[in-house]
Amino acid sequence: MRVDGLLFDKDGTLFDFGATWNGWAAGMIRDFAGTDQAMALRIAQELDYDLAAETFLPHSAIIAGTNRDAAEAVARAVPGQDVEEIEVRLMHAAAEAPLAPAVALVPFLDGLAGRGLRLGVMTNDTEYAARAHLYEAGVAEKFDFIAGFDSGFGAKPAPGPLLAFADAVQIDPARVAMVGDSTHDLVAGRAAGMQTIAVLTGVAGADELAPHADVVFPDIGHIPGWLEG
């Protein structure tokens, strides 16, 4: 099936998940807990985060979850904190997270656009953080569509935000490939009637992703070769 559009997840797909978020999360936990080590451990437990190793556990719901999910998890461990206030705090902090692009994004995206492909990003992060990250990486203007879980289309694994991309660029969903590093991305892609490409720059392994993907690659840099196949 011909592909006329590519819709990318952000974290773990355009940007390597561990290199971008593991250390950042450790810092945020300490910011919330201060010198209270017991609280830090409670927050880490709610996030399914290994504080000693400074890494998210593979089963953490935060990996593919929304900013709201993360805020609710922190609130369960921090008595008296307002969820909405935590959510805003996380949103602004996430926008300043250190970025680790999975590949050199500018030439990669220019190459795809040169093929006539329409490009989009749909993340379960906030749209605010997504745009901040893409601007920081120098690639925001290369996308025809950028949406977060709070953009009004819903969140993955629901197909709504994916179909919003197809509608925005006027492409049959069957001619779009959803590219992601989690089952949320791929399940959403299948539900939207799209092709699905899994990448291993997140936390999930090939065995977990393969049942939901048309193809599994080490990273997004392999997509141009696939398009030529």
107-151 per-position pLDDT tens digit: 999 999 999 999 999 999 999 999 999 999 999 999 999 999 999
Which of 94, 127, 142 is the C-terminal boundary of a domain? 94
Task: Verify that 59 and 131 share a domain, yes or no.
Answer: no
Q: Please tell me the distance from the alpha carbon of residue 20 to that of residue 132, in angstroms, as a whole number.
A: 14
Task: Verify that 106 and 81 share a domain, yes or no.
Answer: no
Is the pLDDT at 2 greater than 90, yes or no? no
Task: Verify that 154 and 214 share a domain, yes or no.
Answer: yes
Please tell me the predicted confidence (pLDDT) of residue 68: 94
φ and ψ at residue 217, rounded to 5 degrees? -120, 155
Q: Please tell me the distance from the alpha carbon of residue 223 to that of residue 160, in angstroms, as a whole number.
A: 24
Residue that the structure tokens 């959803």 belong to: 178
Which of 68, 94, 120 is the C-terminal boundary of a domain? 94
The candidate with the shortest Cα–Cα distance to 8, out of 146, 207, 139, 136, is 146
Q: How large is the C-alpha radius of gyration of the chain? A: 17
Task: Verify that 25 and 138 share a domain, yes or no.
Answer: no
Q: Please tell me the distance from the alpha carbon of residue 68 to that of residue 8, in angstroms, as a whole number.
A: 21
Task: Verify that 82 and 157 share a domain, yes or no.
Answer: no
Q: Please tell me the distance from the alpha carbon of residue 74 to that of residue 83, in angstroms, as a whole number.
A: 8
Report residue 79's pLDDT band, with 50, 70 and 90 as the boundaries: confident
Report residue 22's pLDDT band, with 50, 70 and 90 as the boundaries: very high
Residue type, 45: Q
Q: Is the Cα torsion angle 212, 217, 221, 227 positive or negative in sign?
A: negative
Average pLDDT, integer, range 3-13: 97
Average predicted confidence (pLDDT) for the chain: 96
Task: Verify that 82 and 188 share a domain, yes or no.
Answer: no
Is the pLDDT at 210 greater than 80, yes or no? yes
Q: How many domains does the chain have?
A: 2
Task: Verify that 57 and 163 share a domain, yes or no.
Answer: no
Q: Please tell me the distance from the alpha carbon of residue 87 to that of residue 69, in angstroms, as a whole number.
A: 9
Percent of the chain with pLDDT strictly greater than 70: 100
CATH number at residue 158: 3.40.50.1000
pTM, to two decimals: 0.91
Task: Verify that 116 and 128 share a domain, yes or no.
Answer: yes
Domain of 50 in residue numbering reads as: 18-94
Task: Verify that 89 and 132 share a domain, yes or no.
Answer: no
Task: Verify that 68 and 127 share a domain, yes or no.
Answer: no
- Other beta carbons within 10 angstroms of residue 4's beta carbon come to 18
- Other beta carbons within 10 angstroms of residue 77's beta carbon come to 20
Q: Please tell me the distance from the alpha carbon of residue 185 to that of residue 52, in angstroms, as a whole number.
A: 29
Which of 49, 65, 94 is the C-terminal boundary of a domain? 94
Is the pLDDT at 180 greater than 90, yes or no? yes
Report residue 81's pLDDT band, with 50, 70 and 90 as the boundaries: confident
Task: Verify that 211 and 110 share a domain, yes or no.
Answer: yes
Please tell me the predicted confidence (pLDDT) of residue 207: 97
Please tell me the predicted confidence (pLDDT) of residue 1: 62
pLDDT digits (tens, 9 = 90+) for 26-68: 999 999 999 999 999 999 999 999 999 999 998 999 998 999 9
Task: Verify that 81 and 119 share a domain, yes or no.
Answer: no
